[in-house]
Amino acid sequence: MHSESKASLVGEEYEVEVGPVAHGGHCVARTAEGQVLFVRHALPGERIIAKVTEGEEGARFLRADAVRVLEASKDRVEAPCPFAGPGKCGGCDWQHAAPGAQRRLKADVISEQLSRLAGLTPEAAGWDGTVEPAPGDKVSRGEVPAWRTRVQYAVDEQGRPGLRRHRSHEVEPVDHCLIAAPGVTELGIEKREWPQIASVEAIAATGSLDRQVVLTPRPGGRLPIVELDRPVSVLRVGEPRGRERARTVHRVHGRPFVRERAAGRTWRVGEGGFWQVHLKAADLLVEAVMQGLMPRKGETALDLYCGVGLFAGALGERVGERGAVLGIESGKRAAEDARHNLQDLDRVRIEHGKVEQVLPRTGITEADLIVLDPPRAGAGKETVTRLAGLGARRIAYVACDPAALARDLAYFREAGYSPRRLRAFDLFPVTHHVECVAILEPAGKGR
């Protein structure tokens, strides 16, 4: 360990010209001395005063907030949310950017990640360079769509609900989250206090009136009696015991699941399990994946990281009685839900376990089609290489992180697969997140 500690630069202010957007909801700038700043609440081309929020002398980069704008971008708008801005809620990254500008910023990030990590131009990735808004999300300048069907409220020491500040455990109390879907807002969670509770997750199902709150008590905390503005089922997260790492969820009141509606079916999603957060995301992604794969009767397909079975169900209906679909899901409850959801499709089988462990065990040596929707970190080289060895005519890769997508596309290229088409969707408006669907084919196959 070094004995001398470097001087903190937190609180220092620099006048800078803002450079390009970077992955993570900030832009890049440099001080007069050449030190790199990652600046939030800024836009490319602006002149600003940046105040350092993290970093020390000699650090590879500093984090900063734009606290004064000296020359504004034409894309800048007044943030519609009173809780957005330096030192406030960290939930949204682009409240200060016009809707079209937000999508252009996301497109720039995707383009940069593809180039840097996969050596791909947009053209080589089969991408037109645009980020498509979700249906119904076209809003006027200075407005934000209310899209988020699941909101995790943090609770401060006084029991007030809010959202965490950027890169902090501190809670910014809020009385209304603008991006929360109407079904979340109508519960009235922000209007009451939550003593002895650490967090409240609110879930408003799409296509049913099911509403759920998942409460995480503080250590030793007791549950309050939950009386909200709409009927709601209540779950609580148990304290991890011993070696138990996965969270345990217990039913307190009402159903332990919500019913979601997508792709012409009803889906049971239990215990606060994973479901796409945007109101329109599930239908939009199924449509993009099926258009890209074009499944045929009698084909065999894999749905990896399958959740409650969304893509497996769509594939099962399209490959017909002579076809077969295998879904693999690591979450025990999600795998049970997937079996329940697809019990009418006997050509679909769901296996519980990690993809990298289950796939080799199945003895499968070939498949016609593959869908993978891995967690944020991506699938990784080993899994990609194994998938490429199955000889699928098409692979659909659904990605919530462009860096992980680009890394995995590079592994796929090494293993003989190249992207035929890429689409990007703005399923997380006013945040830096973006969803992509890449369709891959064996390299050398003509477009």
Tell me the DSSP string of 341-365.
Answer: HTTT-TTEEEEES-HHHHHHHHT--
Residues paired with 435 in a beta bridge: 425
For residues 274 and 331, what is the distance between their CA atoms, to the nearest angstrom? 9
Active site residue 89: no
Rounded CA-CA distance 215/201 in Å is 7
What's the per-residue H, E or C state across 217-255?
ECCCCCCCCCCCCCCCEEEEECCCCCCCCCCCEEEEECC
Report the C-alpha gap between 120 and 129 in whole angstroms: 12
Q: What is the SS3 assignment for 327?
A: strand
Give the Cβ contact number of residue 251 at 10 Å: 14
Residue 339: left if φ>0, alpha if ψ -120 to 50, beta else—which one? alpha
Q: Say which of 81, 177, 400, 436 is annotated catalytic.
A: 400
How far lies 415's CA from each of 292, 401, 422, in Å?
Answer: 20, 21, 19
Instruction: Look up tokens 């682009």; give the residue.
Output: 94
- Interatomic CA distance for residues 326 and 369, integer angstroms: 11
3-state secondary structure 119-178: CCCCCCCCCCCCEEECCCCCCCCCCCCCCECEEEEEECCCCCEEEEECCCCCEEECCCCC
DSSP 8-class letter at 286: H
Name the residues annotated as catalytic: 400
